[in-house]
Every structure is written in C-alpha cells, then in structure tokens.
Structure 1
Amino acid sequence: MTRTARAGNAGTSPQSEAQRRTLRVLVTSQVLSGAGLAAGITVGALLAQDMLGSTDLAGLPSALFTAGSALAAVAVGRVSQARGRRPGLAAGYLAGAVGSAGVITAAVADNPVLLFIALFVYGAGTATNLQARYAGADLAAPAHRARAVSTVLVATTLGGVVGPNLAAPTGDLAETLGIPALAGPFLLAGVAYALAALVLTLRLRPDPLLLARSLDLERRTAAEAAGATGDAAPVPERGPGLIPGALTMILSQLVMVAIMTMTPVHMLDHGHGTAASGFVIALHVGAMYLPSPLTGRLVDRHGGIPVAAASGLTLLAAGIVAAVAPGDSVALLTVALALLGLGWNLGLVSGTAMITDAVPLATRARTQGMVDVSIAIAGATGGLASGVVVASASYPVLALAGGILSLAVLPAIAATASRR
C-alpha cells in the first residue's frame, strides 16, 4: 500500500480532527513567535557592534542566541518526550521572552556581559520556533507529513516579515521610553514570545505527541488482540533518512546564519540604515518560510533526497550573488538573501520529513531535540565565524565560502540514495 493510500484511509477520523486543531493552534503561535525571532535577527549584530565599537565580534550575538538555542533544543526535546509538546514549547517561548527583557536591560545599562548572557537565553525562542514544526507532524498521515511541517513553518512568515520592518518604529518607541533605539525590536520580541507561550498553554489540547502515542498503542493492542502481531514487521530503531536529513539541516543552518548575520553589518558599512537592512532581512525571512507549502508538496511527492540536493544548489547560488553584489546595491543583496532563505527552507522541510519518517514515536521527541542541538551548534559556529571572516577578509569572501560549503551535502545524499 502506498503512502498516499494509507493517508487516504484516515478520512475524517478523530486523529484528523485533532491534527487540524493542532495546526490551527501552532499557526497562531508561529505568527507571534516569528515576529520575536526576526526582530532579534535584524538588530542583534548592530547592537553588539554599537556597544563594543568593533565589527570583530559582531557575529557573537547570533552565535550566542544560536548556542542558547542548542541548550533549549535539548530541554524542549526532553520535556516534550516526558510530558508532551505543550509544556515543552510553552516553556521555550517563555524563556525567549525572559531573554528579550534581559537584552533590553543590558542595553539600558550598557553592559556587554549582561547582553551576551541575555542573548544566550533569548536563543530559547529560536529553538522553540523550530521545534514547533515537529509538533505539526506528530498526528499527520505519512504521505502528508512534509505538508504539515510546511504549514507550521509558513505561519512564521507573517510575523517574520512584519518584525524586521518594525525595527525603526520600535526603535522610536524605545527612545521615548529611555531605551537605546537598537534594543527596541526586543520589546516586540518579548511580547511576541510571551503571547506565543500563552496560546500554546491554553489551546494546544489534546497534546499531539501524547495523542499520537496513545493512538499508536491502541493500534498495536488491537493488532495483538487480533493475532496479527506475528505478521507485523518490527519497528526499526532508525530509518535510513536520519543521517542525510540531519546533515542537510545542519549545513543549511550554518551557511544561512553566517551570511545572514553579517548582511546588516555589511549594509551599514555601505551607508544603509536599519530600515533598508530591515527590509532585506524581512524578505529573507519571508523566503525562509513562505515557500513551505510548495516545498512540502515536493517532498511528499518526490521524497526528501532530491529536495535536499536542491537546497545545496540554491545556497550556492545565494553565496555567489551575495559575493558579486556591490555594497550599494540593495536589489542584488535582496535577491541573494531571498535565495539564501529559499535554500534554507528546502533543506529544513526535506530534512525534517526524512527524520520524522526515520524515527519511531517512542524516541521521536528526544531524537528530534538532539538533531536540533546539532543544527543550533552549526548556526552558532556560522554566526561566530562570520564576524571573524568579514573582519579578516571581506563579506564577499564569507558569502562565497558559505555557498561552496553548502555543496558538502551532495555526496552524503548521493551515498544514501545509492544504498536505497
């Protein structure tokens, strides 16, 4: 029986209804969290540069909140494994709100050490924003898992596009409150993350992961009672998609964070203000999430491997365009960052679908959390290295190196395809 046929049998079952409710709640929380995520991306590097007076460590904020997201990914994964998605995701967003408040406090006190600690805590929001995609797939039929993931991801688009474009207005609001203008977007981030936590706490019922386990147990019990277990295939401990799926997402995150982090700094050095960089980042974030429905359909129809390969090639194109774009060309930088977001999207949706298919329910949340730790570490590495590379070489060198590095996923994908 094909994956599509199996999905068709689900019809309008209680599981299907619970899945629709889960997606509605996740979409609402993702719209809010997307604004929090994108707001910090827009000005994090600029705030550090302003406080430190140097570009050498301008990539450190991205590295710190990405490193914080690594720790949060473990915590959210373990809490979700033990208690379900609802408490895990809500706690992660609440931590992101606390981190946002810490960033504002550090900016007011002009305390770089407190800033870096707060950015580390703020990273919990980033991790939780990504972990939510797994919740969208818990109750989905196998043939529709990638589309379920894409539905959750695309919901981030609205908040992700609005957030960076509010950098200037929130900066003005911050100044009226006696807060440095560059800390203004973190006002938005704190409120957005807190509201996302509230929505999940109140509305994500039944818990998708706990319900999926319960339904799976019922099916197994019924099969055993009918004497069918002797003919059932054993549940694999790990499917073939785990390694290529994880590698695709790791490389996509590393390359995307590295180039994205230094783009606002690169634009500022060429005379562009926060409004222009906010516009570019807004379109970049839109490209990260808006193509998700199409990407999900491609993965469901053709499998994750070809889409993952397309991710590497798209990221290469992004690096080349960013490298050759003149510093005063907002148009070309916008194209480069849009391609960068699209390449990341292709990698994330395909990688997530491959991992979800490969991991059994009994260990799914914990394994997904550990995979996201690797993704976060890769992002932290890219963010930290980006400032060093630009300071010692240039932004075009960083962009081109990132694009070439993204091709490293192709041999692993080819090897996996040949084994299959």
Structure 2
Amino acid sequence: MSATQILEPDHLAAVQRRTLRVVVGSQVLGGAGLAAGVAVGALLAADMLGGEGYAGVPTALFTLGSALAAFLVGRYTQRLGRRTGLGVGFAAGGLGAIGVVIAAVIGSVPLLFVAFFVYGSGTATNLQARYAGADLAAPEHRGRAISVAMVSTTLGAVAGPNLIEPLGSLASALGIPALAGPFLLAAVAYLAAGATLLALLRPDPYLLAQQLAGPDDELAADDGAAPRWSRSVIAGATVMILTQIMMVAVMTMTPVHMRAHDHSLGDVGLVIGIHIGAMFLPSLVTGALVDRIGRLWMSVAGGVTLLAAGLAAALAPADSLGLLIVALALLGLGWNFGLIAGTALIVDGTSVRNRAGVQGSIDVLIALAGAGAGAASGVVAAAAGFGFLAISTAVLTLVMLPVLLWSRSAARAN
C-alpha cells in the first residue's frame, strides 16, 4: 500500500482496524502473562524469603523494572515505532518470567530479584500497548480506541489467576515449586505477544501517524504548539499515578491477607481474577463514556469508586470471600476509569512528534509510584493491618480532585 493510498480515508480506516486487531491479539497474550505472575508473586516471595513483611518485594521489583522498561519502550517507539518498542518489551518480560522459574527451582534469592525486575518489562509493555490503539484514531474516538486495546487484555488476565492451581500441579509434576507454575504461562504468553507484534504490526501506527501529521500540522512540531507538560498532561499523569498507587498496594497484599485467614489458593485466584477482569473488561463502556461525558468527569468517577473500594476492603471481615470480591472488583473498576481517562488526557495534550517520549516518561512515574506502593504495602499491612492500608491509600487518591479542578479552570480560560 503506497503512502498516497494510506492518506485516503477508507484506506486509513482499514489500517486502523488492522492495527487494532493485531493489538487485540497481543494484549490477550500479554494479559495472561501479566496476571499469572502477579497473582502469586507475593506468595512466592513470602515463601522464599520467610515472612509477610517481604511480600511486597516482588511487586516493588517488577514495578521498578517496568519503570525502566517504560522509559526504554517510549524512547524506542519515538525512534523506531510501536512495533519494535512493544515487541522487544514483551520479549524481555518473557525472559524475566523464565528467570523467576529458574530462581524458584534452585532457590536463588538474588536471581529471583533480578528476574522479577526483568519480568516487569512485560507489565510496562502491556500498558504501553494501549497507546498504539490511539495513534491513528480521531480525537473524538480516542477513548474508545484506547479501550479496545485494554479490554482485549481481559481474556488472558482473567484466565491467568484461575489457572493457578492447575499450573501449580503441572509445575509440581515437573519438579518445579508450585508457586512458580504460573510463571511458565507468563513466559510463553509474553514471548508470543512480542512475536505477534514484531511480525504483524505493519504499517507501524506511530510512524504512520507522524507521516500523516506532516511538517505543517499545528500539533506536529516541537516548537511549543503542544506543550510537553500542559495542564492536560499533568492532570492525566496525576490521575494515573494515584490510581496506580492504590491498586498496586491493595492488590499486592490481598493474596497474603487471604492466605493468613485460611482462604485457599483457589479463592485467591478467584478474587484476583475478578479484580483483573474489573480492571479491563469494562473498558469499552469506559472509553465511550470518556469520549461522551469527558475525561475529567470520568477521572472524578474513578476517584469516587476507589474510595468505595477502600472502605469495602477495610470493613470486610477477613473470612468473607464475597465482600473481598466486591472490594477488589471496585478497586479494578476505579483503576480502569482512571487509566483510560488519564491516557486520553495525555494523548490530547501532546504532539504526535513527541507523544511516545512523553507517554514513556509518564509511565515511568506511574511505575515508580507503583514500586513504592508495592514495597511499602507489606510493611504497612504488617504494622497496621490490611484495613488501614486500604483506607489510607483510598484517601490519598482524593488528591486528584484539586488537580482536576485546576486543569478544568485552565481549559475554561482558554
């Protein structure tokens, strides 16, 4: 297909549809890689390190790894396109998952730490793929384009945690510790996602968007026409950072909290599976609402939902599986609102020429915030309890409200 043909609306729409199909395929695989490991990472660390206070270490490590990966994926995308940036990122995540399995087999804590760090590349890449859906989308359809990339994660993300027990049985049969079993799935899923993108994401949507913008496009040049850190970008980053802090902290400690109160691994898989489903499954509806009622109002809805999640988690009796499901479902839904609305705010506030770099930088901040939350979650829960952890992080998310008001006042002034 020639560049002239691509400029035709019908051909451009066809390219966008193909892009979304490829992204959907990679995200199904990526979701399985993400969720399978996240569900048992804290349990594996507590088992190998010998204490609940260490349960947040894996989340901190793979979130720190995702921070570096987000930066590198953003920079590679800026220079080489989405295909290369996302493909290499998923491949690194797969290698990290293999390293976790080897570390569990030989009982090596240093290797476990390094492997969790590299495994974080898959998490960062899975999130960055949401931007690929919006590269060629019209401004009024960006929320829905982002949501298509996210909702496709649901199938793999929900299946992963619910395969904990059979994967554990398979691992035991192979002479591998049962808690390392889900990382076998993560390795295969991440490597397959990377191969899918490298082979099929053609033409590259980000490079094509740059070509279509052209030198005369008012948002194309890096001359200040689209500020790198406009109020829209700052508001979007704030929403996503705060929602990530709460989601990571509470999700990390939920399996440990449940196991401490005699819930089975199957119960843990069910709760985390529903939580991750709530993170991604509502995306199509969320994306439509973001486009229809606005980015700021959906961000506010995310904050309110997270507050409800914190209250539910804090008040739920430890032996109540049903209330824990409600709390973690609300946690996932609030995160979904915040991520899609925040992502749309960032795409709106950036130039096509600098967008990938800005997106990567913001995802670094999100990952670092999540790393801090993961590292602190075990200590806070051990010292003050799971309920205090849930309610304190929920209150923290309300900081987004004055930032959103500030952003809205600037938009009205303009």
Fold conserved (TM > 0.5)?
A: yes
Match status 1:317 vs 2:314: no
Q: Residues 52-91 of structure 1: matches in 2 within 5 Å?
A: 52-91=49-88
Match status 1:373 vs 2:364: yes
Q: Residues 65-214 of structure 1: matches in 2 within 5 Å?
A: 65-214=62-211
Task: Give the alignment partner of residue 50 of structure 1, picking from 37, 47, 70.
Answer: 47
Q: Give the secondary structure class of the aligned counterpart of 1:206.
A: coil
Match status 1:332 vs 2:323: yes
Task: Give the alignment partner of residue 347 of structure 2, picking from 342, 349, 356.
Answer: 356
Task: Give the alignment partner of residue 344 of structure 1, picking from 301, 315, 335.
Answer: 335
Q: TM-score, normalising length from structure 1?
A: 0.93
Q: CA deviation at 1:37?
A: 0.2
Could you tell me which residue of structure 2 aligns to residue 226 of structure 1? none
RMSD of equivalent CA atoms: 1.6
The separation in 1 between residues aligned to 2:265 and 2:224, in whole angstroms, is 56
Could you tell me which residue of structure 1 aligns to residue 4 of structure 2? none
Once the two structures are superposed, residues 146-180 of structure 1 have per-residue CA deviations (whole angstroms, 9 ceiling, x without a partner) of 10000000000000000000011011000111100
Could you tell me which residue of structure 2 aligns to residue 30 of structure 1? 27
The separation in 2 between residues aligned to 1:220 and 1:63, in whole angstroms, is 41
Could you tell me which residue of structure 1 aligns to residue 381 of structure 2? 390
Could you tell me which residue of structure 2 aligns to residue 237 of structure 1? 227
Q: CA deviation at 1:237?
A: 2.6
Q: CA deviation at 1:90?
A: 0.4
Q: CA deviation at 1:236?
A: 2.4
The separation in 1 between residues aligned to 2:227 and 2:68, in whole angstroms, is 25
Once the two structures are superposed, residues 19-55 of structure 1 have per-residue CA deviations (whole angstroms, 9 ceiling, x without a partner) of 1100000000000000000001110000000011101
Q: CA deviation at 1:415?
A: 1.4
The separation in 1 between residues aligned to 2:224 and 2:59, in whole angstroms, is 43
The separation in 2 between residues aligned to 1:363 and 1:67, in whole angstroms, is 24
Instruction: Select between 124-133 and 307-316 the one with higher mean Cα deviation.
Output: 307-316
Match status 1:403 vs 2:394: yes
Q: Provide the aligned length of Structure 1 versus Structure 2.
A: 401
Where structure 2 has 5 or more consecutive residues not aligned to the other structure, the ranges are: 1-6
Q: CA deviation at 1:216?
A: 1.0
Could you tell me which residue of structure 2 aligns to residue 3 of structure 1? none
Match status 1:276 vs 2:282: no
Q: CA deviation at 1:240?
A: 3.1
Q: CA deviation at 1:234?
A: 8.0
Q: TM-score, normalising length from structure 2?
A: 0.95
Q: CA deviation at 1:418?
A: 1.8
Could you tell me which residue of structure 2 aligns to residue 303 of structure 1? 294
Could you tell me which residue of structure 2 aligns to residue 416 of structure 1? 407
Percent identical pairs in the alignment equals 57
The separation in 2 between residues aligned to 1:145 and 1:356, in whole angstroms, is 8
Q: CA deviation at 1:71?
A: 0.2
Where structure 1 has 5 or more consecutive residues not aligned to the other structure, the ranges are: 1-9, 222-232
